[in-house]
Amino acid sequence: MANLNKHITDFILYAEQEKGYSVHTITSYSNDLNRFDLFMKSYTNNPKWTVDKIDRQTIRHFLGKEFEEDFSSRTVARRLATIKSFCKYIHKNDVIKTNPSTNIKTPKTPKTLPVYIREKSIEDLMNSPKADTLIGIRDRALLELFYSTGMRLSELVNLNLGDFNSDQQCVRVFGKGKKERLIPYGNRAKISIDNYMLKRGISIKTGDAKEPCFINSKGMRISTRTVQRRVSMYLQQIAEGSSLGPHTLRHSFATHMLERGADIRALKDFLGHSSLSSTQVYTHIQPEKMKEIYKQAHPHGE
C-alpha cells in the first residue's frame, strides 16, 4: 500500500486540478489532513501508518479529541468533511475496500445569519471612495459591481476585460469548481466601470481580453487581501460591526433582492449556489420586513 503522503498529495491534486476547488479550500484540505495524520501517528503508535487503519472508530476518536481541545463545532465539522472527501476518493480509487466515513454524522453547528447593510446605506457606501483619484474611482467601480452582482470575492478579483459583455450588461464569472455563469449588472455599475476604464486609458470592448479588470497601483491584478482591506474600510465608515467585508456586499445583494420580490430560485443562480438550502438562509434575515408585508397584505394583519 502506497505511502500516506502519496495518497494525500494525489487527493489534493485531484481537488485542485479536476474539481477546481479554490486556494482557500485546498489549504483547508491540506491542514485538516495533516492534523489527522498527526493524530493517527499517535493513535496507531506508528509514524508510517497506512490508510487501511482508518475506520469509523478512529475517525470518531479524532473528532472527540478535537472537541476536547476546544475547537468549535464548525471547525470539527469542516475537518470531518475533509476526511469524508479523502476517504471517498481513496475508496473510489480502490485503495480501501470500504469507506469508513460513510455513516458518521456531522456535528451540529450553530446557524448564523449573514451580516448585511440596510438598503438606505448603500448610497453612502458608494460615495465613500474619493472621486478624484484613480484608486478611489477603481474602488467605486469595485463596490458598485460587487453590490450589483453579488459575486464572490474570488470571482471579482479574477475578472478580465474579456469576461464582460458591455452591450448586454452581463459579466461571466467562474465560481466554485470552475462552474461558469453569467450575471447581469446595472447601469450604476456600468457607468462606474466605464469611468474607471476611461481613467486607465483602456476600453472593455477594445482592450486585451486577458487584461485584469481591477489592478493595483503597480498595474498588477488586485489581490484578495487588498479588496478585503479596502471594502472593509468603506463599510466601517457607514456601519458598525467586526465582520464587515466583501461578503457583506454579497449578503446585502441577496437580502435586498429578496426584499424586492426576487424569486429565490433565480437568486440561487445569481449567487452560484449548488443547492437551494444555501440560498434559503436569506429568507430568515429580516423578520420585521416580513411582518410589514404581512400587515399590509393580510385582511386581519393589523
Grid coordinates standing for 270?
445569481
- From the CB of residue 226, how many other CB atoms can be counted at a distance below 10 Å? 15
Active site residue 282: yes
> With contact defined as beta carbons under 8 Å apart, do 104 and 60 qualify?
yes
Active site residue 118: no
**Angle ∠(209,215,217) on CA atoms, nearest 5:** 145
Residue in 29, 89, 234, 282 annotated catalytic: 282
Active site residue 273: yes
Active site residue 78: no
Active site residue 250: yes
Residue in 176, 188, 200, 221 annotated catalytic: 176
The phi, psi pair for 182, rounded to 5°, reads: -105, 135
Bridge-based pairing state of the strands 180-184 and 170-174: antiparallel
Residue in 7, 138, 152, 256 annotated catalytic: 152
Residue in 7, 190, 250, 251 annotated catalytic: 250
Residue in 19, 60, 221, 247 annotated catalytic: 247
As annotated, the active-site residues are 152, 176, 247, 250, 273, 282
